[in-house]
Amino acid sequence: MMAYIRWPILLVLVVLNSSPVQAAVDSYRFLHVTIETPWYIFLFLLIGVFAPFILMAVLMWHTAVQKNNRDDDSDHPPSQD
């Protein structure tokens, strides 16, 4: 039973390792700087660096608004009902 399962898996691994895609991954062209490279760097920085700063600014603004609303409510004396 296990032999029937092993052969297709082995066949898939051999086909994937002998494909031209494997050779292309090791080629120099993936390390070559092109005109698109600054855009890739920008997108990486946008996600990795700028997005946390934007999130931090939004959270600080949200906290400040909530604190301001609490302070406005506490400035008024309680009603004498």
Per-residue model confidence as pLDDT tens digits over 12-68: 777 666 666 555 555 565 667 778 888 888 888 888 888 889 999 999 999 999 988
**What CA–CA distances, in Å, run from 20 to 6, 10, 31?**
24, 18, 17
- Give φ, ψ of 31 to 5 degrees: -100, -5
- DSSP state at residue 79: P
pLDDT at 70: 85
Q: Does the model's pTM come out above 0.85?
A: no
Can you list the alpha helix ranges (DSSP code H) found in the chain?
A: 2-17, 20-25, 37-45, 51-75
pLDDT at 37: 82
User: Two tokens at 67?
Assistant: 């604190």
